[in-house]
Every structure is written in structure tokens, then in C-alpha cells.
A and B are shown apart, each in its own frame.
Chain A
Amino acid sequence: MESSTIPYLRAQGVTKDFGSVRVLDDVSMDINSGDVVSIIGPSGAGKSTFLRCINLLETPTEGVLEIGDFRITIGPGHKHATKKELSTLRRNVGMVFQSFNLFPHLSVLENICLAQRRVLGRDKDAARVRAFELLDRVGLSDKADAFPGRCSGGQQQRVAIARSLSLDPQVMLFDEPTSALDPEVGAEILAVMRELADDGMTMIIVTHEMAFAQEVGDRIYVMVDGRIVESGAPAQVMTNPTHERTKKFLGAVLGR
């Protein structure tokens, strides 16, 4: 977990309003290459919204985003991101959803190959080779020709992870990846994520899995009501929170 001097991903002053409701309030975060960062907090705190702002699935009302060479300033008076910029951004930022969102009409293999071919322009064979590599990595080589409808939740999520990895992204975003799964199955997914982290992937994870956040990760951010109220090393935040709100949240969640 080496850190370079210049953060790979930088969010500054990200604010998001939905009508009159301020969902994100001046959120800033610096992430170095190889960092694994967890975002925790009560529901409705804006964690998912912030994550989705990073790959511009949601457009912030204001803010600055820097990811590698990509830089965009959002706000009144600034131009919207062009389609090409969005495409480049999303090539480098992978996302895994809570509800998997696999394409049900395509087989597992086709799910993983589609973006490679259409976005990266890889030819059919190169895409298949990479797809099989990734399926192997997540332990699902035998499911290549199956359809998502025939796969269990845990299998679907693993395919989703493989699909995002197929574009060789620099950063992976995880939006509550295990919330829709049984605890046992969730553990499998967390294991895959742990491996990814060990291999040096830069990861931002929104999660309710406190144990995971504590063990795997360089930093934890606590978000409440659209703001980051606390951040720091996992051990410190979890056992010795400084902010009132953090104490309250952890108290409820961890039963202390």
C-alpha cells in the first residue's frame, strides 16, 4: 500500500441537491493509487450518491473531480462532460452494484465480453480470453454459458465483479455489494474483494459490513447527513471515534 505524492483520485467540494434537499454537502476525499477506502454511515447519509457522483452516474450540483488525467469542474457556468469524456472516465472507473444489474438476456460470458468489445474495441477472441481469465479468478469458469437467471445471487455478484474488471479499470467502486445477499454468501464476495485489495486495486467501498471495513482497508470515512464527519485509520475510527455522531452510529451498529 504505497502512496504516491499525488492522489490518483480527488474529489473536492462535491455538493448535490435534489430539489430543495441537500444530499451531499461539500464532500472531499483524496485517494491514492492502491488505497482501499470504506465509507460507512446511516442510511440516507448520501454514501451511495457520492459514489455515483464519482463515475458521474449522478451529476453533482457542484464540485471538482480528478481521476488520473481526467479532470472536470461542475457547477454553474461550466460545461457538461462530453460523451467521450464520460466514456473514458467510466472505462477507468468500474462499479459493482447492490442489485448486480447483470444483463439478463445475455449469458455470463457475453455479459463480460460486451463492454470489452464495444468500449475497448477488443476483438472477439481477445475478449473471450480475458473473460475466462476473470471468471477463473472469481471461481466461476463453469458458468460461462449460463444465464444470470440461473445463477444464485452470490454467483451473479461475482460475475458483476468480473464484468467490471474486464475493462481493466484503475479504480473500482462498490455500492453495498453484499447488502442483497445472505451473510454466508456475502462473505464469499468479501473474500473476492479482499483478494482484489491485496493485488493492489484502488477501491472505494460503501458498506454496512463493519468487520470488513475494519480489517481490509487503509481508511474509513463516516458520512452522516451528506457530510464526512470522521475519517482515519480503521482501528482508530472504530474503537476511538471522536465525533459525537460517529459514536452514536457505531453504538447502534456494533451494539456498544
Chain B
Amino acid sequence: MMTPATWFGYVFELLPGLVTALQLTGISLLLGYPLALIFAVLLDGKNRVVRWVVLALVELGRGIPLLVLLYIFYQGLPQVSIIPSAFTAAIWAFTWSTAGYGTEIIRSSLKSVPQGQLEAAKAVGLRESDRFRFVVLPQAARIAIPPLMGLAIIMFQLSSLAYVITLSEVMQSAYFLGTKTFNYLPVFLAAAAVYAAVTIPASALVTSIERRLGRHV
């Protein structure tokens, strides 16, 4: 019969999967966030072609479900003879998605910096790159951090999707465990607990950071 000990045993067996999930999320964010910043800046640039290309990349990253992106890289590329590993395909898909959503967040935060700040920076003679570097970017960063952290938590949850391309993260381990023990419900609840144990404290952290940042400005 199901005992707490057994259940915790399940949780324990899922932990290596958690490590993989965290790795996947971490790397994707590390690659995706800077990409998002670059995209956000390029979108306000002067070159029309660049703007359209970047816009397309962003809209594709946002408009296509992450699951489909995963399949595209893992199951789709082999059609043109590119055969990535599960982890690699996952990184590409997650990075693209992160960059897509991240760009929106960063653009919105750049726009949220009060107009008066830009005017004061102009009036005092700062050139455009200095205006961006010293006045706009620091303030935009403060506005962007809470939503970007929220995005990170969502991406972590979405790492569960990598299960479909046979990446051995939490869900994959859970599924195998389920088929082995036939105790699907407890096993999946154990998986739920593993995720919740990370996301709920993380969300609370984001809320408190949000509050503290709001007080400063």
C-alpha cells in the first residue's frame, strides 16, 4: 500500500530529472535574455530590413506553442538531415521562445521609462548611446526584472514539455516510474510536488522583489 515513505521515495527518484530541468531552463535563459535585449534594441533601429527580420523571429517565437517548436527542432530538422540531440533541440526551442516573450517585456519596460527622463537627458547634452546606457537602461531594467523573473518561472514549468522529445527530465522520469509501479496518481502528484516546491517559493521571491523595487523609484 502507499505509504508516505514510498511516496517520498518517488519524489527522490524524480530529483535527477529536476536537475536536468534546471539546467535546461538555466541555459535557455542565459541565451534567451541577452537575445531578447538585442532584439528589443534592433526593433527600434533604423534599418527596415533588420526590423522586419527581428519582428518575424520574435512573433514566431511567441506565436508558435513551445511544444510545436520542440517538435520542429527534434522531429522536423531530421527531414533536412540535421539530427540534434534531445537536449540540444530543447535548448534551441526554449531559447527562441524565451527571446520571443522576453523581447516584448523589455520593449514594454523601455517604453515605460517616463518621457521626462529622456528629455532631461537630452537637455543636458548626453548623446544617444549615453542616454540609453546611463538613464534609460538602468530604469528600464528595474521595471523589467519582475516580469522577466516571472518568465523564468514559466519556462521552468514548461521544461516539462521536453518529455515529449525524450529528454529525461522530471516528467519523463515520472512516466517511467508510473509504468513501472502502476501507481500513476501518486507518481504524478510527486512530480507536481517537485515543480511546486520550486515555483511557489520562487514566485513569492519575485513578489517581494517587485515590492522592494517599486519602493525605490
From known contacts A90-B124, A105-B142, infer whether A114 and B134 are also in contact, taking CB-CB under 8 Å.
Answer: yes
Chain B binder among A8-16, A91-99, A122-130:
A91-99
| Interface membership of A103, Cβ < 8 A | yes
- With an 8 A cutoff between CB atoms, is B138 at the interface? yes
Q: Is A55 an interface residue (CB 8 A)?
A: yes
Interface size on A, residues (CB 8 A): 26
Give chain A residues whose Cβ lies under 8 Å from the Cβ of B114: 101
CA distance A119 to B120 in the complex (A): 13
- Which residues between 97 and 148 of chain B lie within 8 Å of chain A, taking CB atoms? 114, 116-117, 119-128, 130, 134-135, 138-139, 142
Q: Check B124 against A167 for contact (C-beta < 8 Å).
A: yes
Given contacts A95-B123, A105-B139, contact A118 B217 (CB under 8 A): no
Interface of B is mostly: helix
Residues of B within 8 A of A160 (CB): 120
- Report if A149-B217 is in contact (Cβ < 8 Å); known contacts: A57-B122, A87-B125: yes
Compute how far the CA of A87 lies from the CA of B121 in the bound complex, rounded to whole angstroms.
Answer: 11
Once the chains are docked, how many angstroms separate the CA of A149 from the CA of B215?
9
Q: Mark A157-183, 1 if CB is under 8 A from B, else 0.
A: 000100110010000000000000000
Contacts of A91 in B (CB 8 A): 125
Q: How far is the CB of A42 from chain B (nearest CB, A)?
A: 23
Residue of A nearest to B121 (CB): A103
For A44, the chain B residues whose CB sits under 8 A away are none
A55 to B135, CA, bound (A): 19
Beta-carbon contact of A102 and B123 below 8 Å: no
Q: Which of B122, B127, B135 contacts A103 (CB 8 A)?
A: B135
Find A99's partner among B116, B127, B135, B139 (CB 8 Å cutoff).
Answer: B116
A90 to B127, CA, bound (A): 10
Asked if B216 is at the interface (CB within 8 A of a chain A CB), the reply is yes
Does A115 make an interface contact (CB < 8 A)? yes
- Taking a contact as CB atoms under 8 Å apart, the answer to whether B125 and A97 are in contact is no
Chain A 30-73 near chain B by CB (<8 Å), digits 1 or 0: 00000000000000000000000001010000000000000000
B interface list, Cβ under 8 A from A: 114, 116-117, 119-128, 130, 134-135, 138-139, 142, 216-217
Known: A90-B122, A91-B125, A99-B116. 11 other contacts (CB 8 A): A83-B128, A95-B120, A101-B119, A101-B120, A105-B217, A118-B126, A118-B130, A119-B124, A119-B125, A149-B217, A164-B123
Q: List 7 A-B contacts (CB under 8 A).
A: A57-B119, A91-B125, A94-B123, A101-B117, A118-B126, A160-B120, A167-B124
